[in-house]
Amino acid sequence: MRSLGTSIRRAFLFCVCLLVFPSAHSCVGQEVIPAAPLPVYEFHSGFWLNLHHTLYHIARSQRSANSAANPAGASSGISGLSADEQRVWNNALAFYSRTYADQDLTVSLEMILIKNQLGDFETCEDLAGFKKKTCDAGLPAKLTEALDNAAPVYRAHLWREHDRVNRRWIAAVAPLVRRNGLDLAHRLAEIYQTNWPKERIRVDVINYASSTGAYTTLDPLRVTVSSVDARNQGTEALEVLFHEASHGIADSVQDAIFRECRQREKPIPRDLWHALLFYTTGELIRPIAVNSVDVNSSSGSTSNSPNSGYVPYAVREGLYKRGWENYLRVLTQYWQPYLDGSVTFDDAIAHMVSAL
C-alpha cells in the first residue's frame, strides 16, 4: 500500500465520467457525454468498483457458508464459464477470500482507500497502466493482478447486466434528486448548523454495497449504494441518499451530545447520534412521499406526523425495536420540536440527554 496515498492524490486530477442518465450500454474506457448535472449528487456506474464489490461479496459469502453444504465452485457467482474462465475467476475469489473477505468495507482504511482509488480510475481499461500510463492506479500488485485477470470474465458474463440495472436505478432516482435535492440539502445543513458540501457528492452505484445496502466513507465524502437492494428503491432511495450524506455533515450532533454528557457526567448513549440521523432524514422525506404510500404492515409507523403514509427506513427495518426504543421516545418528544422550529438545537440536545 506504499504508493496508494500518492496515487490517490494524483487520481483526483484524473477525469472521471459523470453518469446521470443511462445510455443503452457502456464499456470500460468508453467516453460518456454527461447530461445536465444534477444538484447535490453525481452518480457513477463504474466497472472496477462493481467488479471489486462483486468479488468481495462472493468471497465473503463463500467463507461464511458451511463448506459441506457449499462445495467448492458451487457459489462462484457465475454460471456457464469455460474451464479457463472458471480457473481465473476462482483464483480471484481465492485471493479476495484470503486478503479482504474478513475486512469491513466501512471500517477498514485499506478497503476505503481501495474503493476510492477504483472509483477514480473507473474509465481505465486496466489498472496496471499497460495501455495508458496514467491508468496505473498504484494499487497493491497482487490486487491489481487479480482485478485485471478477472476483468474479462466479469465483463463477458456479469457487467452488462450489472451496468444496465445500475443505470436504470440512476434514471429512476435522478428526477427525485432534481426535484428535491437542493431543498433537502439546505434543510439538513440548517438542522445540523453547518454547510452542505460545495462540490456534488459522488455516489457509486453498484450491485452489492454492504449488508445494509449502502454505506458512506469520509475524506472525501462518498456514498456507495446498491441498485438492487429492495430498501433502496423509489422514494426510499432518496431517504437512503440523504441519510448517508448526513454522515458527512452531522459532526455538530455528536459533538453536542458528547459535550452535554460530559457536563452532566453521564455515559455517552451509544448510537444516539445515528438514530437522530435516521429520524431526521425520515421526517424530512415524509412530506415529499405523502402521495407515495408505502406502509409496511409488519412494522407500522410510530411517528405522530400527519404524513403517515411513508414509513421511514428506521421504522421499516425495525431499528427502534433493537435497543433504540428510548431513542425514539426522546427524539419524538424533544428533537421533533426542534425540527418544527419551536426549540433551539442546544435545548433539544440537552433535553434528550437529560431524559435518557
Confidence of residue 49 (pLDDT cuts 50, 70, 90): very high
> Does residue 225 contact residue 210 with C-beta atoms inside 8 Å?
no
Provide the pLDDT for residue 255. 95
Q: Which of 99, 152, 163, 119 is nearest to 7 (CA)?
A: 119
Q: Which of 43, 40, 37 is nearest to 246 (CA)?
A: 40
**92-96, Cβ contacts within 8 angstroms, sequence gap of 24 or more:** 92/55, 92/146, 92/147, 92/149, 92/150, 93/55, 93/58, 93/59, 93/62, 94/59, 95/142, 95/143, 95/146, 96/55, 96/56, 96/58, 96/59, 96/146
> Does residue 207 contact residue 226 with C-beta atoms inside 8 Å?
yes
Any idea how long the chain is? 356
Return phi, psi of residue 216, to 5°: -125, 140
Q: Where are the alpha helices (DSSP H) in 77-140?
A: 83-99, 109-120
Neighbours of 187 (CB within 10 A): 16
Confidence of residue 76 (pLDDT cuts 50, 70, 90): confident
Q: What percent of the chain has a predicted confidence (pLDDT) above 90?
A: 76
> Does residue 128 contact residue 136 with C-beta atoms inside 8 Å?
yes
Measured at the alpha carbon of residue 102, what is the angle toward residues 100 and 103, in degrees to the nearest 5? 65
Provide the pLDDT for residue 75. 67
Taking the domains of the chain in order of start, what are their residue ranges?
Answer: 4-168+209-226, 250-355
> Does residue 225 contact residue 241 with C-beta atoms inside 8 Å?
yes
Confidence of residue 64 (pLDDT cuts 50, 70, 90): confident
- The tally of CA atoms less than 13 A away on the side-chain side of residue 195 is 4
308 or 157, which is more confident:
157
Which has the minimum average pLDDT: 224-238, 239-253, 300-314, 335-349?
300-314
Say if residue 39 is preceded by a cis peptide, omega within 30 of 0: no
49 or 70, which is more confident:
49
Provide the pLDDT for residue 29. 40
Provide the pLDDT for residue 144. 97
192 or 13, which is more confident:
192
Provide the pLDDT for residue 36. 62
87 or 19, which is more confident:
87
φ/ψ region of 168 (left if φ > 0, alpha if ψ in -120 to 50, else beta) reads alpha
pTM: 0.82
Q: What percent of the chain has a predicted confidence (pLDDT) above 70?
A: 81
**Nine-digit cell string for 163:** 451496468
For residues 250-271, average pLDDT? 94
pLDDT of 66 above 80: no
Q: Which of 91, 238, 227 is nearest to 179 (CA)?
A: 238
pLDDT of 266 above 80: yes
pLDDT digit string (tens) for 152-210? 999 999 999 999 999 999 999 999 999 999 999 999 999 999 999 999 999 999 999 98
pLDDT of 304 above 60: no
pLDDT, averaged across the chain:
85
Using CA atoms, how far residue 27 sits from 46, 106, 147, 152, in Å, is 10, 28, 16, 12
Q: How far is CA 278 from the centre of its chain?
A: 14
Return phi, psi of residue 29, to 5°: 90, -10
pLDDT digit string (tens) for 109-143? 999 999 999 999 999 999 999 999 999 999 999 99
DSSP conformation class of 8: H
